[in-house]
Homo-oligomer: A and B are copies of this chain.
Amino acid sequence: MNKTITILPGDGIGLEVVKATTVVLDKIADMYGHHFDYQYADIGGAAIDKYENPLPQETIDACKNSDGVLLGAVGGPKWDNHPKGIRPEQGLLGIRKELKLFANLRPVTGHESLTDSSTLRKEVVDNVDLMILRELTGGLYFGEPQERRQVDGEEAAVDTLQYKKSEIERIVRQGFEMAKLRRKQLTSVDKANVLESSRLWRETVEEVKKDYPEVELDHMLVDNAAMQLIRDPKQFDVIVTENMFGDILSDEASMLTGSLGMLPSASVGSEAPGLYEPVHGSAPDIAGEGKANPLATISSAAMMLKYSFDMQEEADSVDRAVAEVLTSGHRTGDIAKQGEPILSTEEMTEKVLNAL
C-alpha cells in the first residue's frame, strides 16, 4: 500500500524522535511491500518562529491531505512570553480541532523489564494494561465564553465546560467498542455529584450501554478514579472520560510504568487522518544532543499502522521489536539505571531496526 504521512517535528527533541521513527517506518515499508511518503510541516514554536502562527494554514492542509500525522512535541521556554500571547500549544489544540480528533487513546502498559523504575511497588504495577480514552475536542478546552469580564466591579475570568449529547455519545461508543475488543470492562469517569455536564455524560453512557450487553460498565467519580489508579491500577481495562479529567488522569497513569519516555498516544476522529505522538514533551534541556528516547514515538507510529492504516501485523512487528530491545537491556539515558550503558537516539533506533 501507498500511504502519505504528514510529519510535524515540532520543537526540541521532537525533531530527533520523528527522524528516528521514519527510519523504522521505512524498514516496515520494505519488509511488507508498502510505500510511505513523508511531507513535512511546521507546528508549535517552530511555526511561531517562521510564521508568527503556531498552526499555519499550510500545515492544516498538509495534514488533511494525508493518511496519518506523526507529531514530535511542541513547546519550550523560548516561547513562554510571546508579546502577542501566541503559544506553541495553540498549534496542538488547533490541529485537534481542525482534524476533529475527538478521541485520544492513551494506553498504559508496563514493559516488565522497566517496572523497577516505577515509584509504585512492583506487585501493584506488574502487568498493568489499561487504556484511557479521553474526549479531545470539547469541554473546558474549547467552550465559549472563555474570557475576562467584570464581576461585582472587579476583574474575573471565565471558562465554559459544555458538552453536546452527540459529543459524549461518540466518545463513549468508542469506549464500549474498545472494551469489547479487550477485557470487556469499561469505567466511565465523571463528577456527576457536582457537574451538570457529568450528569448528561452519565445518562448518555447508560443509554449507549444498551448496545453493549457484553461489556461490564462502572461509573466512577474523578476524585475516586485519581485514587484508584494508584491504589489498584489493575482493576481497570478501558477508562473513558471528558477532556480535562482525561488530561489529568492520563498523565497520572503515565507514572505507573515509571517511564514517560516509553508511552505512545493516538488521537483519532471519524473522518480526517489520525494524529500520533509520544506522551513526553519537547525536553528542551537535551534537545539536539542525540540523547532523546525514540521508543515512545516509534510506538506511536505502531498505533498509526494499526488504527489509521489497518496494518495490524506491521504494528505488532514494531511493538515486538520495541519489547525485545528493552528485554535485551538496551537503554537511553531516561530509562537507564546507574551504571548501565547509555545509547544515543540513533543507536537505540538501530537496535529496533535489528530487532525487526
Q: Is the CB of B226 within 8 A of A196?
A: no
Residues of B within 8 A of A229 (CB): 252
Q: Is the CB of B119 within 8 A of A140?
A: no
Is the CB of A255 closer than 8 A to any CB of chain B? yes
Task: Please give me the residue from chain B that is nearest to A197 by CB atom.
Answer: B157
User: Nearest chain B CB to A83's CB is how many angstroms away?
Assistant: 15
Restricting to A97-136, which residues have a CB under 8 Å from any CB of B? 119-121, 124
Restricting to A17-73, which residues have a CB under 8 Å from any CB of B? none
The segment out of A146-154, A177-185, A310-318 that lies at the interface is A146-154
Q: Is the CB of B248 within 8 A of A231?
A: no
Q: How far is B248's CA from A226's CA once the two chains are assembled, in angstroms?
A: 6
Residues of B within 8 A of A245 (CB): 248
Task: Please give me the residue from chain B that is nearest to A146 by CB atom.
Answer: B196
Q: How far is B4's CA from A99's CA once the two chains are assembled, in angstroms?
A: 61
Q: Is the CB of B120 within 8 A of A230?
A: yes
User: Nearest chain B CB to A140's CB is how many angstroms away?
Assistant: 6
Q: Is the CB of A199 within 8 A of B248?
A: no
Task: Please give me the residue from chain B that is nearest to A246 by CB atom.
Answer: B223
Q: How far is B147's CA from A195's CA once the two chains are assembled, in angstroms?
A: 9
User: Nearest chain B CB to A191's CB is how many angstroms away?
Assistant: 7
Q: Is the CB of B255 within 8 A of A230?
A: yes
Q: How far is B144's CA from A151's CA once the two chains are assembled, in angstroms?
A: 12
Q: How far is B251's CA from A195's CA once the two chains are assembled, in angstroms?
A: 18
Q: Is the CB of B248 within 8 A of A196?
A: no
Q: Is the CB of B196 within 8 A of A223?
A: no
Residues of B within 8 A of A143 (CB): 158
Q: Is the CB of B120 within 8 A of A159?
A: no
Q: How far is B45's CA from A193's CA once the two chains are assembled, in angstroms?
A: 14
Is the CB of A163 closer than 8 A to any CB of chain B? yes
Q: Is the CB of A154 within 8 A of B165?
A: yes
Residues of B within 8 A of A163 (CB): 156-157
Which residue from B121, B161, B201, B244 sits with its C-beta under 8 Å from A160?
B161
Q: Is the CB of B197 within 8 A of A159?
A: yes
Which residue from B119, B140, B165, B231 sits with its C-beta under 8 Å from A155?
B165
Asked if A247 meets B223 with Cβ closer than 8 Å, knowing A166-B154, A196-B148, A200-B155, the reply is yes
Residues of B within 8 A of A231 (CB): 119, 255
Residues of B within 8 A of A251 (CB): 223-224, 226-227
Task: Please give me the residue from chain B that is nearest to A193 by CB atom.
Answer: B89
Asked if A159 meets B161 with Cβ closer than 8 Å, knowing A120-B119, A200-B148, the reply is yes
Is the CB of A194 closer than 8 A to any CB of chain B? yes
Task: Please give me the residue from chain B that is nearest to A150 by CB atom.
Answer: B164
Q: How far is B191's CA from A163's CA once the two chains are assembled, in angstroms?
A: 20
Q: Is the CB of B93 within 8 A of A194?
A: yes
Asked if A157 meets B200 with Cβ closer than 8 Å, knowing A227-B251, A248-B222, A252-B226, the reply is yes
User: Nearest chain B CB to A24's CB is how many angstroms away?
Assistant: 27
Binding site for B on A (CB under 8 A): 87, 89, 93, 119-121, 124, 140-141, 143, 146-148, 151-152, 154-166, 191, 193-197, 199-201, 222-224, 226-227, 229-232, 244-245, 247-252, 254-255, 260
Q: Which 8 A-B pairs have the closest CB atoms?
A: A157-B200, A226-B252, A223-B251, A230-B255, A159-B161, A157-B197, A156-B164, A158-B162
